[in-house]
Amino acid sequence: LADLAGRSRVVSFFVCGSLYVLALITGVCQPSFASFGLGVPAVAVGLLVRSWGIAALGNGTFLVVRGPYSIMRHPRYVGTALELLGFSIMVRPIWLTLFAALVPLFMLMLVAAREEMDLQARFGKRYEKYRRRVPALPTIASVMRAAKFDLLESKTPALARHSRRVV
């Protein structure tokens, strides 16, 4: 199921995006300035988080533990979820929100679970240690830990070199 979700997520996002456009054209959606005022920031933050995750990955041959991956294990998926939430807030009908946000989110959860299994098989104990230390989704504690680590990194050159290392 996870393999199918991984292959079909682009199609599902295209279908859900098309539903948004169709709902806007047909008048099913009732967007307002307030819904855009709440939805646009969520989309913007989601785009930034997802882009940061993609940029931090590099070529994908190493286990990346820096940048957003020091805060959460799935920044690309968290960013995508925020984007979907923002679009759902903007268009407002609850049935469209439920369908167009929850279906792709379910697919992302399946893909993330499969990705975790692949990383565990590929990196073994290193990934297990990383997985115990960093939550799948951001928490206040993980953000504070990453911020504290960044402060230490800027004050200690030897630590700075070590912390940028990719396992």
From residue 14, how far is each of 17, 18, 52, 94, 135 by CA, in Å? Answer: 5, 6, 22, 19, 29
pTM check: above 0.75: no
Q: State pLDDT tens for residues 52-102.
A: 998 998 776 789 988 899 999 999 888 988 888 888 888 777 676 667 667
Q: How many CB atoms lie within 10 A of CB 74?
A: 23
pLDDT of residue 36: 87
